[in-house]
Amino acid sequence: MSDDKKLTTRADNFSEWYNELVLRSELADYSPVRGCMVIRPHGYGIWERMQRALDDMFKATGHVNAYFPLFIPESFLSKEAEHVEGFAPECAVVTMGGGKVLEERLVVRPTSETIIYSMFAKWVQSYRDLPLLYNQWANVVRWEMRTRLFLRTMEFLWQEGHTAHATHDEAEEETRRMLGVYREFMEGYMAMPVITGQKTNSEKFAGALRTYACEAMMQDNKALQAGTSHNLGQNFAKAFDLSFQNEQGEQAFAWNTSWGVSTRMIGGLVMTHGDDAGLRLPPKLTPIQMVIVPIWKTEEERAATVEMAKRIADDLGSFKRPDHERIRVHVDDRVGVKPGAKYYHWELRGIPLRMEIGPRDLASNTGMLARRDTREKRPISFDTLRTELPVVLDLIQADMLAAARARVEANTIRERISYDKFKEVMDGPGAFVYAGWNGDPAVEQQVKEETKATIRVIPDLEYRSPEAPTTCMVTGEPAKYEVVWARSY
Amino acid sequence: MSDDKKLTTRADNFSEWYNELVLRSELADYSPVRGCMVIRPHGYGIWERMQRALDDMFKATGHVNAYFPLFIPESFLSKEAEHVEGFAPECAVVTMGGGKVLEERLVVRPTSETIIYSMFAKWVQSYRDLPLLYNQWANVVRWEMRTRLFLRTMEFLWQEGHTAHATHDEAEEETRRMLGVYREFMEGYMAMPVITGQKTNSEKFAGALRTYACEAMMQDNKALQAGTSHNLGQNFAKAFDLSFQNEQGEQAFAWNTSWGVSTRMIGGLVMTHGDDAGLRLPPKLTPIQMVIVPIWKTEEERAATVEMAKRIADDLGSFKRPDHERIRVHVDDRVGVKPGAKYYHWELRGIPLRMEIGPRDLASNTGMLARRDTREKRPISFDTLRTELPVVLDLIQADMLAAARARVEANTIRERISYDKFKEVMDGPGAFVYAGWNGDPAVEQQVKEETKATIRVIPDLEYRSPEAPTTCMVTGEPAKYEVVWARSY
Ligand SMILES: [Zn+2]
Ligand SMILES: [Zn+2]
């Protein structure tokens, strides 16, 4: 598809805008395998930066990486009753290997609780062996019928944390800590504001005691569950005999947690920041932070502007500088492509900064700097790039988060709302609606059927309304919880 | 298994020594899935450092990362005749998904040429779209009957480079360049000397024009194929219609290369450097570079030595310093474990340096530094740690490579050898034998059957003997090539 064809606009068709944008910005492509996507270099470059940032945060909180098998014996899944019920229908199953039919069929991991806790059981004897704080970067497979690039694919890339603790409280603390790490990452790196809180029983992970989640609001006012953290209690420990001798010399079952985020976050990045001209990538996660477009008419001018552009790029990206001062710059010196087409190309791909360097700029030692997020343009001296650009990039990062926060705020309803009005909102523009709920799963189910909205979370304290709702939005009965309703991906 | 039980020695049983060491040093463990292993944090920490170093080298040579599906439609494999013949017998096959029997069975990737070149065909139209220089970090599955931890497992982790070029010569240059990158990595990071060269036709990759390899000599004098780089010619381009319009406006098929290294290298690291006390890890790849063991009798001494140890560790590892001056230090302050047991623990795990800090050392501001590779011990002032340790670590890295080189040299036979003598050597101590070969595959096959030795490579120029052998070791006919014979993993 040619770059100069206009994107479908968000207002016209948000879903079509998303698909077109992911394909045309070359984040990903459809593959010949139904439901599986190819993550192209521009998309994978974002994922690499997400991985690096998260991995550093995991290590700073005491976790180590390891790797467990892709295949899980079918019998393992069945050992935890809720778990198998949740995952068995979604499994890809290997029945043949090395030309023979297998005695026991192997499931391609949809998640690794079973295989990992069976190994933990082998390694843990005493309280001295606890806690185990593990993480795994891996691919997983869930057989999905309706797939969307990044948001719901048969195979996806993720990290799954798995830990074992001596007590319930320590496990709960870990579950909450990692939810906090996710929030810090999503706001600090993705510039994507989230609300955190607990899932209702009907929405929790298959096999968990409690599930917590980060929920982000996309530009169509639907929620994206961007990360989850589970307190698994002793369910898996009992299923896999993960027990230990405690300080009192008694045998006890361990307490587990698991937590994960995936390439789905890239979809969240697109739907949080993209506009009708393309992606807008936050400086901390973009593979390229600034593109330089040299502008020329004559061959002489070409040589001079390209040379200056490359000198600047080399200097800004030099490994002689400390990490945080190094800037990832690309020079677009393609011959036979007009400057306007180059601008369009890099806007579509969301590169935060563009600097144009024309022949006259060489004399004045000044380029023209354009911000992708605000589209502001201003001259900038080559002499101050080193000191100014890191500041500009930090500012863009902060501005993007602030803009996203303002959008979420504008589309959040906290005032008391009738159920009729709620239906109108959900059928119309959508919103995050904070409202009272009587705690009855039947009411939750009714709202889901009538409006396609679900309880995203019982929000954490800091997100709750100053005055808690006193009545259930649907039944008028006394409210047990304040909850956040929204349609979701 | 307790740490204080002695390892089987290399002389006693090299193969048993290897298995025991991998398990007891906690690099890896057997899993409940036949043929699949678990890579434990100590092993995965080495792999992470291997990945980081290689990834930087790939990027410095212009490559980008991407991700392609785990599953390959069975029909894809069949499109390249030699390729399917080579890989089909080793495949794991998914026949069920989402509870239903699949219409087309899916193969779990044993390697990704087919799926990747089918996508390249979609992306490449013109010579302007070339070259494509891609790399993928992924897991692959090959159904192996006899497996060994790291060396041959059903699932393993690797990187696979895949490139497309406009001409044969450019593809050949890429193939050779990446072989060079592998050699640089293996010698520079793993301290594992290799010989490089071309595989004979019978040993080349299924579907390749030419295969090049890095071969390393293990301490039992057997060869380990540690990395391969393939010039695939136009075989896959023709099978997947990967064609483009060249500068002359004609349609032409692209030229492909692929190249890969895997977690197998960790096995190579163990068998290159390990001794009868455990692993010896090169400073550039070890997760921990120095362990500090505080030594105390009284509680007061414990507090003081542990505090000093932690202060030193924090200072040496501080992120305030540039990367190359930062040292990865671990303080072993476990209570109830004797210093001797701690020394044994970390020697088994191959940590390059150990510093002991006793109560009297606090007064003299001096610790006792022990090298794992040479077992030398000497006092070292706390004041000069910052400047001395990076030098010591570089020295260890260099000494380990030199020691390995000397060992390879001592077990290499370049003088003319009779086939009878050759059989004795192969049945006995083993060796890398440089000898003449008449180029006949039947001779190659005969030697393999009679001695279990194979031609590892037709060595590159720099490895060839000063005087090329003139006759074939087996037949006495004129030699067409000088080749390197050895038994191998
Ligand atoms: Zn359960
Ligand atoms: Zn072929």
| Residue B260 pLDDT exceeds 70 | yes
User: DSSP 3-state assignment of A196?
Assistant: strand
Q: What are phi and psi of B65, to 5 degrees?
A: -95, 150
**CA of A36 vs chain B CAs: smallest distance (Å):** 6
Rounded Cα gap, residues A51 and B285, in angstroms: 20
| Residue B49 pLDDT exceeds 70 | yes
DSSP states of B436-480: EE-S-HHHHHHHHHHHS-EEEEEE-GGGS-SS---BBTTT-SBPS
Report, as an integer, the average pLDDT of B372-379. Answer: 97
Q: How many CA atoms lie within 13 A of B486 on its CB side?
A: 30
CA dihedral B182, B188, B189, B194 (to 10 degrees): 50
Return the pLDDT at A3: 56
| Selection from B158, B147, B150 nearest residue B34 by Cα | B147
Instruction: Please give the ipTM for the structure prediction.
Output: 0.96
Residue type, A313: A
Structure token pair of residue A150: 């990044």
For residues B212 and B228, the answer to whether their CB atoms sit within 8 Å is yes
Residue type, A308: M
Other beta carbons within 10 Å of A338 = 10
Rounded Cα gap, residues A99 and A108, in angstroms: 18
Rounded Cα gap, residues A393 and A288, in angstroms: 12
Handedness of CA B465, B470, B476, B477 (dihedral sign): positive
| Centroid of ligand 1 to alpha carbon of A208 (angstroms) | 6
Q: Which residue of A has its CA nearest to B30?
A: A119
The pTM of the whole model exceeds 0.80: yes
**CA of B277 vs chain A CAs: smallest distance (Å):** 23
| Selection from A377, A319, A329 nearest residue A351 by Cα | A329
Q: Which residue of A has its CA nearest to B68?
A: A38
Other beta carbons within 10 Å of A384 = 11
Q: Looking at the partner chain, which of A44, A67, A157 has a beta carbon nearest the beta carbon of B44? A: A67
Residues on chain A touching B98 (C-beta within 8 angstroms): 89-92, 143, 145
Return the pLDDT at A80: 81
Domains with residue ranges and CATH for chain A: 14-273 (3.30.930.10), 290-395 (3.40.50.800), 412-486 (3.30.110.30)
| Residue B100 pLDDT exceeds 80 | yes
Contacts of A445 (CB under 8 A, 6+ apart): A202
Is residue B422 classed exposed, middle or buried when 0-12, 13-18 and 19+ CB atoms within 10 A define those classes?
buried
| Selection from A107, A90, A93 nearest residue A144 by Cα | A90
Q: What is the pLDDT along chain A (489 residues), one digit of tens a residue?
A: 455 688 999 999 999 999 999 999 999 999 999 999 999 999 999 999 999 999 999 999 999 999 999 999 999 988 888 888 888 889 999 999 999 999 999 999 999 999 999 999 999 999 999 999 999 999 999 998 889 999 999 999 999 999 999 999 999 999 999 999 999 999 999 999 999 999 999 999 988 999 999 999 999 999 999 999 999 999 999 999 999 999 999 999 999 999 999 999 999 999 999 999 999 999 999 999 999 999 999 999 999 999 999 999 999 998 777 777 789 999 999 999 999 999 999 999 999 999 999 999 999 999 999 999 999 999 999 999 999 999 999 999 999 999 999 999 999 999 999 999 999 999 999 999 999 999 999 999 999 999 999 999 999 999 999 999 999 999 999 999 999 999 999
| Centroid of ligand 2 to alpha carbon of B206 (angstroms) | 7
Which DSSP helix (H) or strand (E) runs through B1? none
Return the pLDDT at A429: 97
Our CA angle for A3, A4, A10, nearest 5°, is 85
DSSP states of B386-446: HHHHHHHHHHHHHHHHHHHHHHHHHTEE-S---HHHHHHHHHTT--EEEEEE-S-HHHHHH
Residue type, A92: A
Interchain proximity B45–A64, CB inside 8 Å: yes
Contacts of B270 (CB under 8 A, 6+ apart): B18, B21, B22, B27, B150, B279
Q: What percent of chain A has pLDDT over 90?
A: 93
Question: In chain A, what's the furthest Cα-to-Cα distance?
Answer: 84
**pLDDT for B72-85, tens place per residue?**
999 998 888 888 88
Report, as an integer, the average pLDDT of B62-81. Answer: 93
Banded pLDDT at B44 (limits 50, 70, 90)? very high
| Selection from B439, B447, B457 nearest residue B423 by Cα | B447
Rounded Cα gap, residues B412 and B407, in angstroms: 9
Rounded Cα gap, residues B67 and B62, in angstroms: 17
Q: What are phi and psi of A323, to 5 degrees?
A: -35, -55
**pLDDT for B143-179, tens place per residue?**
988 899 999 999 999 999 999 999 999 999 999 999 9
Return the pLDDT at B2: 52
Q: Looking at the partner chain, which of B45, B71, B88 has a beta carbon nearest the beta carbon of A33? A: B71
Residues on chain B touching A138 (C-beta within 8 angstroms): 139
Q: How much is the mean pLDDT over chain B?
A: 96
Interchain proximity A115–B37, CB inside 8 Å: no
Cis peptide upstream of residue B131 (ω within 30 degrees of 0): yes
**pLDDT for B421-437, tens place per residue?**
999 999 999 999 999 99
Rounded Cα gap, residues B294 and B334, in angstroms: 9
Report, as an integer, the average pLDDT of B341-359. Answer: 97
**pLDDT for B201-234, tens place per residue?**
999 998 899 999 999 999 999 999 999 999 999 9
Indicate the DSSP class of residue B88: G
Rounded Cα gap, residues A353 and A283, in angstroms: 9
Cα separations in angstroms, B325 against A22, A372, B328: 41, 37, 10
Residues on chain B touching A118 (C-beta within 8 angstroms): 32
Structure token pair of residue A228: 């989850």
**pLDDT for B376-399, tens place per residue?**
999 999 999 999 999 999 999 999
Rounded Cα gap, residues A451 and A436, in angstroms: 16
Return the pLDDT at A2: 52
Contacts of B250 (CB under 8 A, 6+ apart): none
Residues on chain B touching A39 (C-beta within 8 angstroms): 66-67
Rounded Cα gap, residues B395 and B381, in angstroms: 18
Residue entry with tokens 């959900």 = A426
Cα separations in angstroms, B79 against A267, B122, B241: 34, 17, 11
Rounded Cα gap, residues B394 and B371, in angstroms: 12
Contacts of A315 (CB under 8 A, 6+ apart): A386
| Residue B1 pLDDT exceeds 50 | no
Rounded Cα gap, residues B13 and B19, in angstroms: 10
Q: How many CA atoms lie within 13 A of A132 on its CB side?
A: 30
Return the pLDDT at A4: 63
